[in-house]
Structure 1
Amino acid sequence: MDIRSTFIKLDEKFSRFGGLEPRGITRLLYTDEWKAAVNALIEEFDNNGLEVVQDSIGNVSGKLVGVNSDETILTGSHIDTVVEGGHLDGQYGILAGLTAILYLKEKYGQPKKNIEVLALAEEEGSRFPIAFWGSKNFFNIQDNEIVKGLTDSEGVNFVDAMRQSGFDFRTDDSVRNDIKAWIEIHIEQGQVLEKEQKQIGVVTGIVGFKRYYINLKGEANHAGTTPMGYRKDVVVSFSEIVQRLNQKAKEIGDPLVITFGKVNLVPNVTNVVPGEIEFSVDTRHIDEKELNHFSKIVEDTIQEVATKNGLEATITLHLDEQPTLMNEEIIKTIEDSAKEVTSGNYKFMVSGAGHDTQIFSQFVPSGMLFVSSIGGLSHNVEEDTDIEDLVKGIEVLAKALYKLAY
């Protein structure tokens, strides 16, 4: 079996589900495009002799049954995308896993342990404001009450969308105990590997992050008749918050990052002093203590600026994910595999993006590996990776799965 041609064929097939012109994918949870991709995966698994497993919320996997069917080595990623995303984020991990399994099956036959590729229903939080729905359901740690009130940008309720797609909440409390290891392969979504001319990144940890939604309320008033000293202008306060926190983050230094990514202004017209603003704050660090320390600075700074300028501030912590370290034995397995496949053309690195592996690592020995991203682009229709790097990634994954399962 030729890994290159097999992967290209699969990638071209699945990039059509939610595919955009001339390139890119929008495939959001519980949409027709998402459901078509899931159904196509089931067909692909079945046609290749893999045992299909699907749960009630839409996670689906294909299993190559081993001699010891009580132990499973699991690989995979998420099937959903962001709006106007690329063809590799999430999808590569699933199709690379499938390609690796088919290669191992043809070359070595039945493994000692099961090898299973898992397509998780959702990770991105792009349609509804919730992330890791797939992986949290996999381990039965989801909060069903939270999603019951969620709606998408068109007002569609989460539960309605789920049920219209033929899925529903879990009704059992069981958690699988057969999984002995989890490996996720992913594009880097950054520029490090490309700039350092490395083919493989052996991930040692994933940053933790805290994501806030902030609401500042001042006073909307006439732009021409309200003197500067009398204004309660939320944009001025927002600007001060951005400047102060960005400067503080630079002083603390890498790997701390802070991003102000979403801003909604009311009334958002040219001749009115803006009276209300909502914005997001996303801050990340690999060290839990440092992340918590800076988050306190974020909260204190926002409140201090608001009070000084006579504004009312509401600070809501929306997501709180702690830093995650990979399992040392899995790291070693991936490193040894990368060393053999690439003749040492790899590096250890930390992931600055969140991944399903953050959830898996809480329950099973877990690891990740990266391939480079051209220009560091991701969450972008131009997202891409050289085919040679994609193939090398699959070869490293296959080698690691072989070491764990055969």
Structure 2
Amino acid sequence: MIDITPGQIDEAMDWLSSISDKEGKGTTRLLYSKSWVEAQNSLKDLFEKSGMQTEFDAVGNLYATIEGSETPEVIIASGSHVDTVVNGGRLDGQLGIMSAYLAIKGLIEKYGQPKKSLRIISLAEEEGSRFPYTFWGSKNLFNIADPKDVSDITDSEGISFVDAMHEAGFDFQEEPSKFSKMDAFVELHIEQGNFLEEENLKVGVVNAIVGQKRYSIKLKGEANHAGTTLMKYRKDVVECMSRIIVEVIDRAKEIGDPLVVTFGQVDVVPNVVNVVPGEVEFSIDMRHTDQDALNDFAKEVEALIQGHAEVKGIDSTVELWMDEPPVPMNDEIIQIIEQVCKDQNLSYQVMHSGAGHDSQIFAPRVPTGMIFVPSIKGISHNPEEHTEAVDIEQGIQALAAALKKLAY
């Protein structure tokens, strides 16, 4: 085990999370903002003081490397994203960067230079909080970002993506990234759920990231007088939606974990107290670790929507606007992380991730693993996001031990 204390962890997280565009509780550090530039440059200075070689790529991903003594061309990497949501917590994303730093620094202090190269990656962006685009950092790392997708987009203040990028000192990547070649990637992250806390476990060994389907459903019935239109004559879209919601949720509970479904957004027209609603648009978010199971549930839901609409004489439109497949982690790295947890007698559980992470971009291209630490009450994307440093320490010990097996 490396030498690390809860105090060192809190100090590291307080330092990085304090770099924010807003004062007070929470951290706001959006892509290419002043605080984003400050954070990346501050991390660069920190890594260089620890003897690491640092370099930015064209779009602003930061890489810090300790070269291996025997096979320096073999790269074992760890890290996460440096951007935050608006008024976010002190852990999401940035914990992965600082955990990689503390783990690698501890390994070097205790065991010296690794045989293979160790690398920290501070990814430019994952959240999509400033501009309507996600995974800009990792997609550029693997040469799958299309500049056309961001050329005409703006933030909430009307600042264009391209102008913000240039103002921060970066530009589109013209050549394939030389950093895309690596032999393993391990990301440490808060769970952003309450499973580990509820089960009194300290480390999650992630075996897959769920696939997601997101829908916009539109129902068009007939707006009418709330007092004079008898119940049997109504084409009430809210009633139809309500029946769909109850039946879909009941079916999801019947199927059971790891399937989840959420109805999170509703827009009713005319949305007044004394008119039978004539139009409604609502969202459905469904997730599962198994593609076939996710597809089967989606077919059920689509048929159910159509069936209820036909019975009520209501027109229905079903638009699938996100269809991301489940992403499994690498079996060998899962086994390595699980074994080091056993060796160190850590309290752990193999589990899936219900949220998206940079690792889902890495995993199809690089042997990838993830480590979770508990989130108190499952709170994330919120200033109240918190994990006790003594629990984070177990996650960092697991990360350090896994990196040691991979690089020493």
Q: Which amino acid aligns with 1:16?
A: S
Moved more, 211-220 or 391-400: 211-220
Q: Which residue of 1 aligns with 2:67?
A: 65
Q: Residue 307 of structure 2 is aligned with which of 290, 304, 309?
A: 304
Shift of 1:254: 1.4
Alignment of 1:219-234 (within 5 A): 219-220=222-223, 223=226, 228=231, 231-234=234-237
Q: How far off its partner does 1:96 sit?
A: 0.4
1:294 to 269, 293, 297: 297
Question: Equivalent residue of 1:129, what SS?
Answer: coil
When residues 235 and 250 of structure 1 are mapped into structure 2, their CA distance, relative to the original with a 3 A threshold, is same
Residue aligning to 2:134: 131
Do structure 1's residue 46 and structure 2's residue 32 form an aligned pair? no
Q: Deviations over 1:346-390 (max 9, x none)?
A: 221122222111111101111111111112222222111111011
**Would you say the 8 A contact 1:205–1:349 is kept in 2?**
yes
1:184 aligns with 2:187: yes
Q: 1:383 aligns with which of 370, 377, 385?
A: 385
Distance change >3 Å, CA 179–CA 23, structure 1 → 2: same
Task: Write the letter of the residue equivalent to 1:298.
Answer: V
User: What amino acid sits opposite 1:321 in the alignment?
Assistant: E
Q: Which deviations, in whole Å up to 9, do the C-alpha atoms of 1:130-159 show, x marking residues without a partner?
A: 332221221112233333444444454444
- Taking a change above 3 Å as real, the CA distance of residues 2 and 254 of structure 1, as seen in their structure-2 partners, is closer
CA distance, structure 1, for counterparts of residue 373 and residue 337 of structure 2: 13
Q: Which stretch shifts more, 214-223 or 361-370?
A: 214-223
Deviation readout 1:8-52 (Å, 9 max, x if unpaired): 222111111237665322333333333332232222222322221
Q: Which runs of 5+ in 2 are unaligned?
A: none
1:188-246 deviations in Å (ceiling 9; x for gaps): 12222222222211112221111223344445555556555555443333222212211
Q: CA deviation at 1:183?
A: 0.3
From the superposition, tell whether residues 16 and 177 of structure 1 become closer, same or farther in structure 2 (CA, over 3 Å).
Answer: closer
Question: What pairs with 1:271-282 in structure 2 (closer than 5 Å)?
Answer: 271-282=274-285
Contact 2:346–2:394 (CA under 8 A) maintained in structure 1: no
Selected match of 2:375 from 370, 373, 376: 373
Aligned partner (choices 244, 249, 274) of residue 247 of structure 2: 244
In the other structure, the counterpart of 2:319 is 316
Match of 1:144 among 136, 147, 169: 147
For residues 146 and 306 of structure 1, the distance between their equivalents in structure 2, rounded to whole angstroms, comes to 36
Deviation at 1:115, TM superposition (A): 0.8
Residue number in structure 1 paired with 2:352: 350
> Match of 1:7?
9
In 2, the alpha carbon distance for the partners of 1:400 and 1:202 equals: 11
Counterparts of 1:326 and 1:129, CA distance in 2: 27
| Residue number among 82, 104, 129 corresponding to 2:107 in the alignment | 104
Among 172, 175, 198, the alignment partner of 1:172 is: 175
Q: Structure 2 vs 1, CA of residues 225 and 189 (structure 1 numbering), >3 Å: closer, same or farther? A: same
**How many residues matched?**
405
TM-score of the two chains, using structure 2 as the length reference:
0.90
Letter in 2 for 1:28: L
Deviations 1:252-310 (CA, angstroms, capped at 9, x unpaired): 11111001122334444444444443332111111110011112223333333344444
Pairwise CA RMSD: 2.5
CA 1:263–1:363 in structure 2 vs 1: closer, same or farther (change >3 Å)?
same
Q: 1:36 to 1:224 in 2, by over 3 A?
A: farther
- 1:93 deviates by 0.7
Q: Do the aligned partners of 2:21 and 2:34 also contact (CA within 8 Å) in 1? A: no
